[in-house]
Chain A
Amino acid sequence: MNMPSLSILTLGQAADPLTRAVFREHGASALARDTDSLMMWIFGFDVIWFVFLMALMLFWVVKYRRRPGVPAQRSPHHNTPLELAWTILPSVFLGYMFYRGFESYIAKLIAPTDSEVINVVGQKWEWTFTYPNGASPPEKAAIGGNEAAPILYIPVGRPIQFRMTSNDVLHSFWIPDFRFKFDVMPNRYTSYWIQAEEPGDHWIFCAEYCGDKHSEMAGLIRAVTPEEYAAKVSSWQVSGTPAERGFIMVNSKGGCFACHTITGSPGIGPTWKNAWGNEVKLADGSTIPADNPEAWDNYIRESILNPNAKIHAGFPSPSPMSSFAGTFTEEQIGWIVEYIKSLSDKAPAQPDAAPKQ
């Protein structure tokens, strides 16, 4: 007698074939599953109407196909009650759809007041996150072609609100498993919230076209237990030597490795290896002289705040990089200068080397 209830329980956990075909997986929260059920209701409505209309059409097309010498038969040219009925009846269903959609949309948009707020910054072509304690997640995952997509840890069972803004163009923060997205804009905060129910990984995609590497602007939400979450986030609080802190800044907060390398071969932007302290030719013909620490420190700071001020010869002008003014404090820019300096053969010897990526 227990067998049927057992099999129902199993069905409830694994996605059934229809859900798998439509959504891959069940929605990751109660609100997401509410959207799924609304969507499946609309699809059901669509299928019923479509099959009815097409069956009628095909039946008549076959039944009344043209035969030589047989004329069309007379039939009414209009029928007011019928026409009123097929105008009003669908309107009732559409009214219901609107109401359900509105209700569920508001529920997913407006966060509970006790939500944990995570700052999300979009920039070409990286998501960066900051936790309430100032830490940013350093761990990376491979998603599609992006080998270093950031992993955003969140605790299960707690509402998480994203406070989102962009450093450059429009982006859109889409978490398909939670069935929600919202545009990320450069001149305002936008926000929505999610609440994970079980530990697991969920893709983040950028859904608003933002340029060359739009399709690699991915991330991963990793829902973990509150204990694991607390341990992770406190362990990432910024500490260490200035160069180590600089590495944390460029890796976790700036997303700089999307364009810059420390290998010696240039990415979209110049490589940082052996950059500091060596001569650089600029696009306007002038140079940053070798062995002039002050000129070099200023060049790095200026390039972070105003990437177009001095363009490295051989790289695109205007620069595809956006200003990081407002992203980094002056203190943090100082750490980044120290980190880039530590990658150079011209750097003064350090007692302990900075961590390499």
Chain B
Amino acid sequence: MTTIDTPHDIGHGGHHDEGSYLTPPPGGVFATIIHWATTVDHKKLGVMYLGAVLTMFLIGGLAALAVRTELWAPTRILADGTATGQLFHSAKSVAAGYQIYNRVFTLHGAVMVFLVIVPGVPATLGNFLIPIMVGAKDVAFPRLNLLSWYIYCTGAIFAILALLQGGVDTGWTFYTPYSSSHANNAYGAVVLMTTAAFILGFSSILTGLNFIVTVHKLRCPGMGWFDMPLFIWGMYATSIIQVLATPVIGITLLLLIFERVFHVGIFDPAMGGDPVLFQHFFWFYSHPVVYVMILPGMAIVSELIAVHSRKPIFGYRAIAFASLGIAAVAFLVWGHHMFASMGELAASIFSALTFLVAIPTAVKVFNWIATLYKGSIAWNTPMMYALAFLFLFSIGGLTGLPLATLATDMHLHDSYFVVAHFHYVMMGGTIIAFIGGLHHWWPKITGKMYNEWGGLLGCALVFIGFNVTFFTQFFLGTQGMPRRYASYVDEFQTLHQISTVGAFILASGMLVHVITFLTSLISGPKAPPNPWGGLTLEWYTESPPIEHNFHHEPIVKHGPYDYEDVYPPHCDPADFPLPEPLAAGARAH
């Protein structure tokens, strides 16, 4: 049962003999650099984004380790005026040491949000996979895609400039009037940082636009909307939010720059503005963006669970519609970031709406777990990451409930409970899914297999380290530890120390992954076209894919998850046996 129209077996390309996209052009290193720097190939752009995003992840991660190290012990001022317990010493004063801490946690937050998690999955795996998964040669607007990449680079350069100017101490949320009138703004670092976020927004918008048109217009023959892999559904919902919400943050940050530079009173009451207005503007973007961060993670997990348990996703349509439902409700709940600064009526309405978003999210988790039933579940790194996602994301989702509930949120708001909650969602959700997806598609992207034991060891360390780091922070929060504190009362030290130990276990897991991937690149065995027995279109082409993805335009004749009825391409049928065929007259469900 063939599913796509391939007159020639791969490897015997005949007159369509075409090299892998990684084949360097003739003319040496310089020609290769020019070739990559001017490429409009979605795969090369995806790989370049991957390099950039992982570099930024390293910077943000090192900042996180610095934060955890500083919090090992509270700062105490000795009789001679010096301080103990400060990693970030400053000869000037204890307060100057705190100021360095404030810049480091801002760096961590801003880099992780604007340069890693928001662009992370769409720009890397999305860019690489969306055209292949819909059976196209490239995205709808390949040159626009190249432009997005250079806009991202420009934004990243502005962020690094802000860093080199001494950094920003506003927190990644840039709350006014602190950011507009009070924050330490040596050499315009605040303006540089907000400009960076403003520029990065354009990269998001253009990428989102590109993906929406690609999904609408470039699906290959035979692929209706409900024949699309759920990865595409998730990316599609993500792109809609990016296009609709990102302009708002652009305008808001521009207004902030205007206030800072030209002293136009918009947010600072000293100039006649209103600081809460900034919070409304900021969260009107930044709450939907939470779903820009998590929907791609959900999109990856849908693929991982289906492929590695060899089961059709349970309730495919429910998951697809839940993605769109989350995208829609995402625009109505921004106020729950402001329960402590808004009136009772608004807070009550936003609290009720926030509970609404819990429903489609819960439905997705139920569907993923139900998919495992009667499956053939592989115990490999991608699957373990998918399970880790279900574990961590469930905790993240369930701990959102006391934050949506007004009375309990008024205690937990801006405490370590919130810090733990959003790390369980953002890192335990998105980043964990991203690493799982990276393992899953690594053979396709690089053409090399990775060492399975290395992947599993890294996964175990990351999972344990993550829980040790962040589960303790729930208790810090309920006991009264506010977030963004450079020091604390003695009662909180034990929990802080446990959390810091966890952060280093987590980092060691990441190091294992880096080593595994580098070893794979240098000496990994060549990857077959379809190592996991997948049925989506990327597994029909070679590993790594050829320059134009497919020798012929594919024609889809089965669903993306018909593991019960279709032998996967390029695989030994004995490796992926099918269940008994249905009796004549019986209908598939």
Contacts and interface: CB of A to CB of B under 8 A. Distances in A.
B332 to A, nearest CB: 15
Contact of B274 (A23, A64, A75, A187): A187
Given A38-B408, A104-B406, A268-B93, A22 B344 contact: no
B365 interface: yes
Given A70-B577, A187-B269, A169 B475 contact: no
Interface stretch (B219-227, B288-296, B369-377, B548-556): B369-377
B187 interface: no
A73 B212 CA distance: 36
Contacts of B366: 53, 83, 86
Interface stretch (B145-153, B345-353, B446-454): B345-353
B102 A60 contact: no
Interface in B35-78: 74-77
B402 interface: yes
A109 B342 CA distance: 12
A287 B292 CA distance: 56
Contact of B355 (A21, A97, A104, A211): A97
A340 interface: no
Nearest to A61: B377
A22 B479 contact: yes
Interface in B359-415: 359, 362-363, 365-367, 369, 372-379, 387, 390-391, 394-395, 398-399, 401-402, 404-411, 413-415
B21 interface: no
B401 A97 contact: yes
A238 interface: no
B486 A53 contact: no
A66 B375 CA distance: 8
B177 A169 contact: yes
Interface string A43-62: 10110011001101100110
A174 B483 CA distance: 12
Interface in B226-284: 269-270, 274-276
B482 interface: yes
B401 A42 contact: yes
A236 interface: no
Contacts of B178: 169-170, 209-211
Contacts of B588: 77
Contact of B398 (A50, A57, A209): A50
Interface size class of B (residues with CB under 8 A): 35 or more
Interface stretch (A176-184, A242-250, A275-283): A176-184
Interface stretch (B154-162, B200-208, B311-319, B425-433): B311-319
Contacts of B182: 124, 168-169, 211, 320
Interface string B82-97: 0100000000011110
B406 A56 contact: no
Contacts of B401: 42, 45-46, 94, 97
Contacts of A181: 340, 410-411, 413-414
B77 to A, nearest CB: 6
Interface size class of A (residues with CB under 8 A): 35 or more
A78 B480 contact: no
A260 B448 CA distance: 64
A22 B579 CA distance: 50
B484 A64 contact: no
A203 to B, nearest CB: 6
B589 A77 contact: yes
A302 interface: no
B410 A105 contact: yes
A154 interface: no
Contacts of A35: 407-408, 410-411
B486 A214 contact: yes
A71 interface: yes
Interface in A95-121: 95, 97-98, 100-106, 108-110
A143 B482 CA distance: 14
Contacts of A74: 374, 564, 579-580, 582
Given A35-B408, A72-B564, A72-B579, A83 B363 contact: yes
A72 B77 contact: no
Contacts of A60: 369, 372-373, 375, 377
Contact of A176 (B102, B269, B480): B480
20 contacts: A23-B479, A42-B401, A53-B394, A57-B369, A61-B387, A65-B377, A72-B374, A73-B579, A77-B588, A86-B363, A97-B355, A98-B404, A100-B405, A108-B410, A145-B83, A168-B177, A172-B413, A207-B482, A215-B75, A265-B81
Given A53-B369, A74-B582, 17 more contacts: A23-B479, A24-B479, A38-B405, A57-B369, A65-B377, A66-B378, A73-B374, A73-B579, A83-B366, A94-B359, A97-B405, A105-B410, A145-B76, A169-B177, A170-B275, A179-B407, A207-B415
